[in-house]
Chain A
Amino acid sequence: MSVSETTEAPPRRTLTRRQRHRLVLGGEYAVFLAVVLAVVLLADWDTVRQNLANWDVARQLFPDIITVGLRNTVLYTLLAYAFGLAVGMVIAMLRLSSVPPYRWFAMAFVEVFRGLPALLIIIFVGFGIPFAFAIEIPGGVVGQITLALGMVAAGYMAETIRAGIEAVPRGQMEAARSLGMSYGRAMRSIIIPQAFRIIIPPLTNEMILLFKDSSLVLFLAVTLEQRELTKFGRDLTGQVGNTTPIVVAGLCYLLITIPLGYLVRRLDARQRRGQR
């Protein structure tokens, strides 16, 4: 279209396409430079460095921010992931059941846990359940965290697993059944291994989301030793009156999420190339 515009343009003094492109590009660079200059000139750099990247404060954070904060974040994520995967698996099987009430239950479960904010579930598990039912969740705060974050993940995982199972061609189940395998045996040995190959990228993505959502447990009654990255960073920021701990905690998250995100893109690309 633009080609015909330029070729059919009357011989007025119009810009060629190339000139117009240069002009737009130049404009974009000008805006960029102006913003950078404004930030550099207007910000009080000493205050910023003092508060966001204070080496003396940062040094004090180690090794506890790793051995307590990052360790607990990873621990809670893995516990919740394992729990969520197990529950998600069960819900996915119920969702595919030929018994209608099972399917209804699974559908309701997915809708509820996908539809609720993670924080609300965490508060409900941490304070609502002990209060309403007068029971202790086994495992104390760690048990609460596993249950709450696990349920947050389970709804999504159930749907992902179901989609993966349904993506395995029907002929696979028929071939397995025709060899005398029961439905459950065919699922375990033939269908689910193939389904998991398909859904490893979205399941890894779910781990990234869960890793970040684990910060929400700072609302629960964790001890000093049970603090994860976000609570650790917030507490220390309060103690030393400096924002550096939050920045370092943030870098710790990125240390995990960026490589995982890279892994997801690699796995995705490999799958799209149709390799096994």
Chain B
Amino acid sequence: MIEIHGLHKAFGSLDVLRGIDLEIAAGAVVCVIGPSGSGKSTLLRCVNLLEQPTTGRVLIGGTEVTDPECDIDAVRRRIGMVFQQFNLFPHLSALDNVAIAQRKVLRRPRREAGRIARENLDRVGLGDKAAAYPAQLSGGQQQRVAIARALAMGPEVMLFDEPTSALDPELVGDVLGVMRGLAMDGMTMLVVTHEMSFAREVADQVVFMDEGVIVEQGPPAQVIGDPSHERTRAFLARVLNPATAT
């Protein structure tokens, strides 16, 4: 479903991604872990071309998005993205947040867009918050509206960039619950996260990134349970056991 070949990304003289190869099968959930600054967000943003890769190819369901001829707006409709900071539209109600792109991009009539928006708000457990504005919602609720907003476009792939990192600990569970449900429904997902228990339970593959390269990848039991690289072990020790970290 997603194919990444020889992906490089540099910001000026800073090489952030230094040759990434990754394939994600349809319906698979891949979790990306790694220290801050290792290029995880940049990788995700290259998949839907929020960042233009320096070299390399990215294919979504067989369409090469890095082809200069590719209609990127058309491809982005097929890729949902959820951000660390939610990025809800503050001037629109939850319902309109979920409906606006359906109406303006997919040209769905107002009523149909509203109905699909409600369905997706129900799906993330916020059917009763349709009229609320983002400022009236908790972080966890905002992030679930953001997920509904992406789902309403009927994406084939969902990208999550640390979706729970900005949340109070007691709100993390609701968001992870929604994501777990999506994974069970067969959504193809590429998830950057520090939630190791989520990765262990839900991921088909875990990718450990450091300094712009994939150091190690495989099933969670292998990468998280029995890592073969020293850098992976050091990272996991810090994440799983912050108190004893040096």
Contacts and interface: CB of A to CB of B under 8 A. Distances in A.
Given A172-B89, A185-B104, A190-B89, A180 B153 contact: yes
A179 interface: yes
Contact of A276 (B87, B133, B150): B133
B104 A181 contact: yes
A179 B76 contact: yes
B105 interface: yes
A178 B50 contact: yes
A189 B97 CA distance: 11
Contact of A180 (B77, B87, B88, B135): B77
Given A175-B87, A194-B91, A197-B91, A180 B73 contact: yes
Contacts of B101: 176, 179-181
Interface string B30-50: 000000000000000000101
Contacts of B50: 174, 177-178
Nearest to B153: A179
Interface in A130-174: 169, 171-172, 174
Contacts of B54: none
Contacts of B135: 276
Interface residues of A, number: 19
Contacts of A185: 104-105
Contacts of B77: 179-180
A193 interface: yes
A193 B104 CA distance: 15
Contacts of A177: 50, 73, 76
Nearest to B45: A174
A180 B153 CA distance: 9
Contacts of B88: 175
Contacts of B177: none
Contacts of B81: 175, 178
Interface string B66-95: 000000011011011101010111110000
A182 interface: yes
A180 B76 contact: yes
A190 to B, nearest CB: 6
B100 interface: yes
Contact of B149 (A174, A179, A182, A197): A179
A181 B150 CA distance: 12
Contacts of A175: 81, 83, 87-89, 146
Contact of A193 (B73, B91, B133): B91
Contacts of A179: 76-77, 101, 105, 149-150, 153
Given A171-B87, A194-B91, A178 B48 contact: yes
Interface string B91-114: 100000000110011000000000
A172 to B, nearest CB: 6
A135 to B, nearest CB: 41
Given A179-B101, A185-B104, A276-B133, A171 B83 contact: yes
A169 B77 CA distance: 22
Contacts of B83: 171, 174-175
B79 A276 contact: no
B73 A181 contact: yes
A169 B89 CA distance: 10
A174 B85 CA distance: 11
Nearest to B85: A171
A196 to B, nearest CB: 9
Nearest to A193: B91
Contact of B105 (A169, A171, A180): A180
Query: Which of A172, A174, A180, A193 has the most chain B CB atoms inside 10 A of its CB?
Result: A180
Interface string A178-216: 111110010001100110010000000000000000000
B60 to A, nearest CB: 13
Contacts of B79: 178
Nearest to B159: A178
A15 to B, nearest CB: 54
Nearest to A196: B91
Given A177-B73, A178-B81, A185-B105, 16 more contacts: A171-B87, A172-B89, A175-B81, A175-B88, A175-B146, A177-B50, A178-B50, A179-B150, A180-B73, A180-B74, A181-B101, A182-B73, A190-B89, A193-B91, A194-B90, A194-B91
5 contacts: A171-B85, A174-B83, A175-B81, A176-B89, A276-B133
Closest 7 CB pairs of A and B: A180-B77, A179-B101, A175-B87, A171-B87, A178-B81, A180-B76, A180-B105
